[in-house]
Amino acid sequence: MVDLNNLVIRGYLLRLVGEEGMKMIEKMPEGDVTDEQVAEKTEVLLNIVRRTLFILLENKLAVCRRERDSSSGWLTYLWHLDMSDVESQLLKEKKNLTRNLQLRLEFEENNVFYSCPEGCVRLLFNEAAEYEFLCPICGEDLMFEDNANFIETIKKRLEGLTTNQKA
C-alpha cells in the first residue's frame, strides 16, 4: 500500500476525492468488496463511496470487477484499491502543471494589461482601448498593471517543478 502520510500523495488524493473520500481510502477493507460493504466498514455515505470509487477508477487507482449471480442474474461490482500507479499519475499532473504554467508565463510576458482599481476586470491593451480605458462594469479609469511580480512568481514555481523533476 502507498504511504498515505506522504504530503504530496495525500494532497493529490485529497484534491481528487475530498475529505470524505480520503476517509474511505484510509479505512478501505482489503480484498474485493462491494460498494455497500465499503460504506458499512468505512462509515462513509454510499453515494460518496460510489463517487470516490469511480474517481479512483478513472485515475487508475482502483480496480472494479463484475460478477453475475447465476440464479438471479444480478451484477455485483467488486472493488479494490490499487495505488501502484499513483507515482505515474503524479508525474502526469506535474507535466500538465508545468505545461500550463509555461503557457501562462508566455501569455503574461507577451501582453500588456489594464485593470480596474475596484477589481472588476483585467483586460488586454486592445480590449482596454476598445473601452476607452474605462471599466466596462463600474466606469472607473483602467490602470496599467505591472505584472512583473506575477511573472516572477510563475518563473519560481516553474523552477521549483523542474528542480524537483531532476532530483
What value does the mean pLDDT take over residues 7-20?
92
What value does the mean pLDDT take over residues 21-46?
94
Over 70: is that where the pLDDT of 1 sits?
A: no
CA distances from 43 to 32, 62, 83 (A): 18, 19, 21
- The residue among 149, 9, 141, 152 whose CA lies nearest residue 86 is 9
User: How far is the C-alpha of 162 from the C-alpha of 102, rounded, in Å?
Assistant: 12
Residue 101 grid cell: 504554467
Candidate from 7-11, 47-51, 107-111, 140-144 with smallest mean pLDDT: 7-11
pLDDT category at 150 given cuts 50, 70, 90 is very high
pLDDT at 25: 94
User: How far is the C-alpha of 125 from the C-alpha of 114, rounded, in Å?
Assistant: 6
Candidate from 1-10, 77-86, 145-154 with smallest mean pLDDT: 1-10
Q: Parse the chain into domains and list their residue ranges.
A: 7-81, 88-166
Q: Are 85 and 91 in contact (CB under 8 A)?
A: no
CB atoms within 10 A of CB 102: 13
Write out the CATH class of domain 7-81. Answer: mainly alpha
